[in-house]
Amino acid sequence: MGEKGDEGKPRAWERVSSEQLADYGIFRVRRDRARSPRDGSEHDFHVAESPDGVAVVALTEDRRLVLVEQFRHPFREVTLELPSGIVDEGESPAEAAARELREETGFEGGEAEVIGCIRLNPSWATSRVHVAVVRGAARTAEKDEDAGEETRVRLVPADRAREMVLKGEIDAGAAVCALALWMWNRERRGMEDG
Amino acid sequence: MGEKGDEGKPRAWERVSSEQLADYGIFRVRRDRARSPRDGSEHDFHVAESPDGVAVVALTEDRRLVLVEQFRHPFREVTLELPSGIVDEGESPAEAAARELREETGFEGGEAEVIGCIRLNPSWATSRVHVAVVRGAARTAEKDEDAGEETRVRLVPADRAREMVLKGEIDAGAAVCALALWMWNRERRGMEDG
């Protein structure tokens, strides 16, 4: 009972230097040298830099969720995730959401509503993922995949999403965060329908 | 109405070669060359490899959540997150949870319960984060920080966590995923108390 937190907000580190080390296409690596506010000692911090992304909670009229299965090279396994991708230069997160949904799944819907933004791994990466909701999604076209992609669209009842996360069937960070933001937003608004 | 998914699970890519390119300490980079199952063309995929981590939902007897503020170099900003860290070699996720909680915050509690595991960014990283819940947490010691760390412990009513995520006050991927798993598990179990 009556536990207390700490006083005093952590101080910023002074950056002494910053250097681009490598460009791997999908991410780059920089090294910051920075001075500890505690004792003045200098330390190196490696950071993976990547452009902003978007993850899309897309709902059909009959309240199913549009999911995407694809082979993921880090794990050499097929994962089940939300439609997602990179926000292109000059594009808004909402525009990127509509485009990625169309390209990855062939689905289109109403205007994308951006409901939040997640920093996937602040420990060593700049990855940010905007979360968008698209309602009234329906298949209007074929998928537009390049040779590096082979996806399978799966539709599941939206009410099953929470259970799929708890069972580990959906376990990708962006997907779980996006589903949480979507569900908690609905609860806050007192919405039942999307 | 009546939208349909696709037939046929995505096929695995045959890996032609795999090479370690760099070791940045907190993560390493490998490059896989793999053959598309669609057209046989070969492509390179860069992957950031890192050890498993753990994020801890720690609750005090008076139902507050133990949070940690710290300076994060990727954004050069102070973030508000759950206690978290790396699972050391030979350690279980539950043991790592108890240790990280103690080292980062000075809090200890009941046995850590591991309730799930998230893959933070399957697009290009192997990062996995185990999610653990520790109940009955109380401050038993001083924090055990090295010169590279300066954290501030904050206690907030557990019932406020959802709102803090919706407001963007908590936006780190591991923290949001861990809070979602914790809350959804409680709802499924019909628990009110932790």
Cβ contact A122–B81 (<8 Å): yes
* pLDDT > 70: percent of chain B: 96
Nearest to A173 among B8, B107, B173 (CB): B173
Partner-chain residue, chosen from B73, B124, B180, that has the shortest CB–CB distance to A26: B124
pLDDT at residue A184, as a whole number: 96
Q: Give the position of tokens 């990179």.
A: A86
Predicted confidence at residue A193, as pLDDT, reads 58
Q: Among all residues of chain A, which has the CA nearest to that of B66?
A: A5
The answer, for B170 touching chain A at a CB cutoff of 8 Å, is no
Interchain CB distance below 8 Å, B173 and A41: no
Percent of chain B as helix, strand, coil, to the nearest 5:
20, 40, 40
- Spell out the residues 6+ positions from residue A94 whose beta carbon is closer than 8 angstroms to its own: A111, A112, A113, A114, A132
Which positions 36-65 of B are in contact with A (Cβ < 8 Å)? 36-39, 41, 43-50, 53, 60-62, 64
ipTM of the complex: 0.95
What's the pLDDT tens digit per position in B167-177? 999 999 999 99
pLDDT given at position B5: 84
> How much is the average pLDDT of A102-122?
97
pLDDT of B24 strictly over 90 = yes
**Amino acid identity for residue B158 in this structure:** A
Model pLDDT, residue B192: 60
pLDDT digits (tens, 9 = 90+) for A143-155: 777 766 778 999 9
E strand map for chain A: 14-23, 28-35, 42-49, 53-60, 64-72, 77-81, 84-86, 107-108, 113-119, 128-139, 151-157
pLDDT of A168 > 80? The answer is yes
Quick check: B155 and A184 CB within 8 A? no
Per-residue pLDDT, averaged over A110-130, amounts to 98
What pLDDT digit, counting tens, does each position of B64-106 carry? 999 999 999 999 999 999 999 999 999 999 999 999 999 999 9
Mean pLDDT to the nearest integer, A99-119: 97
Are A29 and B25 in contact (CB < 8 Å)?
no
DSSP state, residue B12: P
User: Which phi and psi (to 5°) does residue A177 adopt?
Assistant: -60, -45
Cross-chain Cβ contact B177/A173 below 8 Å: yes
Q: Which pLDDT does position A148 carry in this prediction?
A: 64
Q: What is the mean pLDDT of residues B109-138?
A: 98
Please answer yes or no on whether B118 and A13 come within 8 Å at the CB atom: no
Q: Is the pLDDT of residue B1 over 60?
A: no
Per-residue pLDDT at A88: 97
Q: How many helices (H) and strands (E) does chain A have?
A: 3, 11
**Confidence category of residue B8, pLDDT binned at 50, 70, 90:** confident
**What's the pLDDT score for residue B147?**
62
Mean pLDDT over each residue of chain B, to the nearest integer:
94
Residue ranges in B131-171 assigned as alpha helix (H): 161-166
How many other β-carbons are positioned within 10 Å of the β-carbon of residue A80? 17
As a whole number of angstroms, the distance between CA A116 and CA A128 comes to: 10
Block residue for tokens 């298949």: A139
Residue B152 C-alpha, separation from nearest chain A C-alpha, in angstroms: 6
CB A143 within 8 A of CB A104: yes
Q: Give me the mean pLDDT over the B109-132 stretch.
A: 98
Which of B82, B121, B181 would best serve as a mutation to test chain A binding (most A beta carbons within 10 A)? B121
Instruction: Say what the pLDDT of residue A174 is.
Output: 98
Q: Does B2 touch chain A (CB under 8 A)?
A: yes
Strand runs labelled E in chain B: 14-23, 28-35, 42-49, 53-60, 64-72, 77-81, 84-86, 107-108, 113-119, 128-139, 151-157
CB contacts of B147 in chain A (<8 Å) are 36, 38-39, 41, 43
Residue A108 burial by Cβ neighbours in a 10 Å radius (0-12, 13-18, 19+): middle
**Which of A107-121, B48-62, B82-96, B178-192 shows the lowest mean pLDDT across its residues?**
B178-192
Kindly list the distances between the CA atom of residue A81 and the CA atoms of A161, A179, B169, B176, in Å, as whole numbers in the listed order.
11, 11, 25, 17
The confidence score (pLDDT) of residue B143 equals: 77
Residue A112 Cα, gap to closest chain B Cα (Å): 18
Distance CA A173, CA A183 (A): 15
Task: Give per-residue pLDDT as tens, A52-62.
Answer: 999 999 999 99
Report which of A188, A191, A181, A51 is spatially closest to residue A113, judged by C-alpha positions: A181
